[in-house]
Amino acid sequence: MFPAELISLLRKLPKLVALTGAGVSQESGLRTFRDAQTGLWTQYKPTELASPEAFQRDPKLVWDWYAWRREAVKGVRPNRGHYALVEIEKRIPNFTLITQNVDNLHRFAGSQNVLELHGNIQRVRCSECYTFTET
């Protein structure tokens, strides 16, 4: 999948980091937030759904929206981009994958060393006691 020369060069690095965002999951069929025509923020305002203030104003709306998003994520699978990053991780010591995505597709594909900047949509946190629960 990757040229041996590239892998050899990458192995010499003290650390290697890849940063992913919505584009990698869009190929799996998930809508992005910022696409001008179909992005989720063209239909919804972030301040109405993705903030503590929104939750305080209308918790049911926020819970329903996140439940809809969790269902959308359940219907998709990792794509070649996700699996390519798994292969890099297998071959390169000290590889870290940093993602802005909350869809868990990197872990589903097999990535191990993943930092999820915006959390994971399958993990919710109680707003009172701050404990996590897997959905």
Angle at 124 between CA 58 and CA 84, to 5 degrees: 125
Cα dihedral: 25, 30, 33, 35 (round 10): 90
Whether 118 is a known active-site residue: answer yes
Task: Map tokens 């025509």 to a residue.
Answer: 37
User: How many Å separate Cα 37 from the centre of its chain?
Assistant: 21
Kindly name the residue from 11, 80, 118, 123 that is annotated as catalytic. Answer: 118
Which residue, 21, 29, 65, 17, is CA-closest to 44?
Answer: 65
Which backbone phi and psi does 55 adopt, to 5 degrees? -65, -40
Alpha helices in 12-58 (DSSP H): 22-26, 40-43, 46-49, 52-57
Which residues are catalytic, by number?
118
